[in-house]
Amino acid sequence: EAAVTQSPRSKVAVTGGKVTLSCHQTNNHDYMYWYRQDTGHGLRLIHYSYVADSTEKGDIPDGYKASRPSQENFSLILELASLSQTAVYFCASSRTGGDTQYFGPGTRLLVL
Amino acid sequence: SQLAEENPWALSVHEGESVTVNCSYKTSITALQWYRQKSGEGPAQLILIRSNEREKRNGRLRATLDTSSQSSSLSITATRCEDTAVYFCATDSAGNKLTFGIGTRVLVRP
């Protein structure tokens, strides 16, 4: 079965601080994604990647950076965390761009 | 505006009843996917239905697709309390990525 793990599972950060969310997949999938979920907005795509060492902007990339150092790992970086970035963040992987996405359990981020 | 949108926003049924969630989308697609998200978990795919398919089944789940009206439905028969979740449709109209709707909240009561 597909396996996507995220760390940390929850985090409290201070405004202006740097936050790094990590994602690891053992599916041998080329595509990985970062979403944020807020009440009333569903899942919104922040960044995605289809090959190691390359990332693409999603629908809401402002304020976020991404890093894909290997096929298995994909990180989301908030250089200067803001209150508006309080949300639940999900990582996902898929074999191809339009294929089934397998999601991690999520990271709950609270920025104070 | 949303490229994919589920309706209704929420609904409630008793265990054993059937429930249907609808989805409308705005662009041409190669496939539409239905996902379920239980409280505290990440979404999990239920069904993928391709644009050349009209219906797809997976156990108690049945998805339909009407590309002429750009709509889809997901029906669950013989519902159980564990079917309580948020149900999303997602379209691949954007190429390398999926676009998710806001979701329909389904509550199955004992």
- The CA-atom distances, in angstroms, between B66 and each of A60, A73, B53 are 30, 38, 9
Q: Quickly tell me which residue has 């190429």 as its tokens.
A: B95
Residues 72-101 of B with CB under 8 A from A: 88, 90, 92, 95-101
Q: Which residues of A touch B (CB under 8 A)?
A: 4, 31, 33, 35, 40-45, 48, 50, 56, 58, 90, 92, 97-98, 100-106
Tell me whether the omega of the peptide bond preceding residue A69 falls within 30 degrees of 0, making it cis: no
pLDDT for the residue B9: 92
User: Looking at CA atoms only, how far is residue B78 from chain A in angstroms?
Assistant: 26
Q: Find, among B79, B100, B90, the residue nearest to B12 by Cα.
A: B79
pLDDT for the residue B33: 96
Q: DSSP state, A8?
A: -
pLDDT for the residue B22: 97
Q: Which of B33, B48, B103 sits opposite A42 (nearest CB)?
A: B103
Asked if the model's pLDDT at residue A54 lies above 60, the reply is yes
Give the pair of three-digit tokens for residue B25.
């989308």
CB atoms within 10 A of CB B49: 20
**pLDDT one-digit tens code per residue, A69-106:** 999 999 999 999 999 999 999 999 999 888 999 999 99
**pLDDT one-digit tens code per residue, A28-53:** 999 999 999 998 778 999 999 999 99
CB contact under 8 A, A43 and B100: yes
**pLDDT one-digit tens code per residue, A17-30:** 999 999 999 999 99
Domain ranges of chain B: 4-102
d(CA A4, CA A26): 7
User: Which chain B residues have a beta carbon less than 8 Å from that of A107?
Assistant: none
Residue B39 sits at the chain A interface (C-beta within 8 Å): no
Helices (H) and strands (E) in chain B, counts: 0, 11
pLDDT for the residue B1: 55
Tens place of pLDDT per residue across chain B (110 aa): 568 889 999 999 999 999 999 999 998 899 999 999 999 999 999 999 999 999 999 999 999 999 999 999 999 999 999 999 999 999 986 667 899 999 999 999 99
Strand A4-7's sheet: what is its strand order?
Answer: A4-7, A19-25, A73-78, A65-67
The predicted model gives A54-63 an average pLDDT of: 95
Q: Find, among A6, A37, A43, A36, the residue nearest to A21 by Cα.
A: A6
For domain B4-102, is the CATH number 3.40.50.920?
no
- The CA-atom distances, in angstroms, between A5 and each of A2, A85, B44, B62, B103 are 10, 21, 14, 30, 24
